[in-house]
Every structure is written in C-alpha cells, then in structure tokens.
C-alpha cells in the first residue's frame, strides 16, 4: 500500500504539472513531459516581440510556423488576445489544419533547441531566400526542454508560394 502510494506520488510529480517550474528540472531526466511547457509564457512573449517588430504590411502577409505542435499550442493558447495570429505546425496531425495563409510571403518560424535546429534551419533555407535569426528562446528556470536554446526566425523571399511548400513540411515523429 505504501509502495503504491509512493509510486503514484512520484509518477504524478513527473507527468502532471504539479511542481513549480523552478522544481521541474530534476524530473526531466526521467520524463520530459513535466518540463516541456516550462517557459511557454516566455516563448510566446518572444514570438510576440518578433511579430510586432514586423512592419504592419509584412504582418498582413505572414504566418507563424512552429516545428512542433506543443509550440503551436503555446502560441495559440497563451497568445490568444495578444495580437498574435493562430500558429500553424506541420508536426503530426497539426499538418492537416493547413498552412494558415497559403499566400504568405513572410514566415515567423519557431525552431527547437540546438539538437534539432540544424535540420529545421536547412529546411527553411531550402524554401526561403532570406532566413534570419530574430530571437533566441530560453526559460528563466534553466529546464533543458526542447525549446531551450532554440530560435525564432523571420523567413522571407519564398522560392514558391507558401501553400505549395506546405505539403513538403509534414513531419511525423
């Protein structure tokens, strides 16, 4: 009975958001679930700074594109009512929701940290003539989640229309 209660308590701490962000780091080595949403308010704030830093005319023809559905969910939930548009993601089944504005000429792309970033950046460079780092992602708690050390890119000069690029971006992992 005591063993079951202790196991259930430890399991809950590792998979449910019951700990404050400053206490999550120790659980990350066992299960990354608890740490993946740490820093999302900061991520959304960083994306908002990049987004609002674009000229209004450029924003009118832009989309926010995320490398994974978690980042899209963060932008879409925490960014609601802040002036951010609905983010799109080509990760897993989010791809089916489509590219947002198929005629977008600017893509604000959120990429994960250093371990995954080279693949995403190469993909962005293959589809856009201009790809520049606009911001670096971090969380104030030092939790080594997938976004830590990632970047927000501003991509312009699409080599083909965004709607034609979209089918090639689908990622299942």
83 and 61 housed in the same domain: yes
Q: Residue 16: which domain range?
A: 1-35
Per DSSP, 28 falls in state H
87 and 17 housed in the same domain: no
13 and 41 housed in the same domain: no
Cα–Cα distance measured from residue 110 to residue 6, given in angstroms and rounded to the nearest whole number: 39
pLDDT digits (tens, 9 = 90+) for 1-11: 776 655 555 45
51 and 6 housed in the same domain: no
| Total structural domains within the chain | 2
144 pLDDT above the threshold of 90: no
The strand pairing partners of 62, in sequence order, are 106
Q: Taking a C-beta distance cutoff of 8 angstroms, is the pair 63, 99 a contact?
A: yes
54 and 110 housed in the same domain: yes
pLDDT digits (tens, 9 = 90+) for 70-127: 899 999 999 999 999 999 999 988 889 999 999 999 999 999 888 888 889 999 999 9
44 and 119 housed in the same domain: yes
16 and 94 housed in the same domain: no
146 and 84 housed in the same domain: yes
């Amino acid at each position: 009975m005591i063993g079951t209660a202790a196991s259930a308590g430890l399991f809950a701490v590792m998979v449910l958001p019951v700990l404050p962000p400053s206490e999550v780091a120790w659980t990350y080595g066992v299960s990354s679930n608890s740490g993946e949403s740490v820093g999302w308010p900061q991520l959304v704030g960083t994306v908002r700074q990049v987004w609002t830093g674009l000229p209004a005319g450029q924003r009118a023809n832009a989309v926010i594109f995320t490398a994974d559905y978690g980042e899209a969910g963060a932008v879409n939930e925490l960014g609601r009512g802040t002036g951010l548009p609905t983010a799109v993601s080509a990760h897993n089944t989010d791809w089916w929701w489509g590219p947002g504005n198929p005629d977008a000429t600017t893509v604000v792309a959120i990429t994960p940290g250093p371990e995954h970033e080279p693949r995403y950046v190469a993909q962005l460079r293959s589809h856009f003539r201009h790809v520049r780092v606009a911001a670096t992602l971090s969380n104030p708690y030092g939790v080594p989640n997938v976004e830590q050390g990632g970047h927000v890119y501003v991509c312009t000069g699409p080599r083909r229309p965004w709607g034609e690029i979209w089918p090639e971006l689908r990622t299942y992992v």
